[in-house]
Amino acid sequence: MSSSSVEKCSVLANDVEVTDDTLTVELSDGRTIATPLAWFPRLVHASADERGQWRLIAGGRGIHWPSLDEDISVAGLLAGQPSSESQTSLKKWLDARRKPQRPIKKNGRKKTS
């Protein structure tokens, strides 16, 4: 009896699209995976501009949104795992977003951050 070994390959993200209700990721093996945006509350609460400001990290193993402090792994998407962020953490993040930015004084001049 012969058996074949299945080699574990690493599937990477090539491209990302975020709409008002869906996160779609084009994968390196030709598949496209779409997940409900509701799985990722930070993306739900983000503006369209913020959602569009993503970058691939770890050679395509993940996606990062700098202005949202959000990271999503391709492995997590493939496993069907929504965000595991606690409600307490999300509430703190939302509260911080609602606070107006305080001006920073630099060389005697006010500058907003």
Within-domain flag for 36: yes
Q: Which helix (H) or strand (E) holds 92?
A: helix 87-98
The reported pTM is 0.79
Q: How many domains does the chain have?
A: 1
Within-domain flag for 106: no
Give residue-wise pLDDT tens across range 14-56: 999 999 999 999 999 999 999 999 999 999 999 999 999 999 9
**CATH number reported for the structural domain that contains residue 37 in this entry:** 3.30.2020.40
Q: Quote the domain boundaries for residue 67.
A: 13-84
Within-domain flag for 49: yes
Within-domain flag for 108: no
Query: Do the Cβ atoms of 74 and 11 come closer than 8 Å?
Result: yes
**38, 44, 72, 5 alpha-carbon torsion, rounded to 10°:** 30
Give residue-wise pLDDT tens across range 47-93: 999 999 999 999 999 999 999 999 999 999 999 999 999 999 999 99
Q: What is the mean pLDDT of residues 3-15?
A: 69
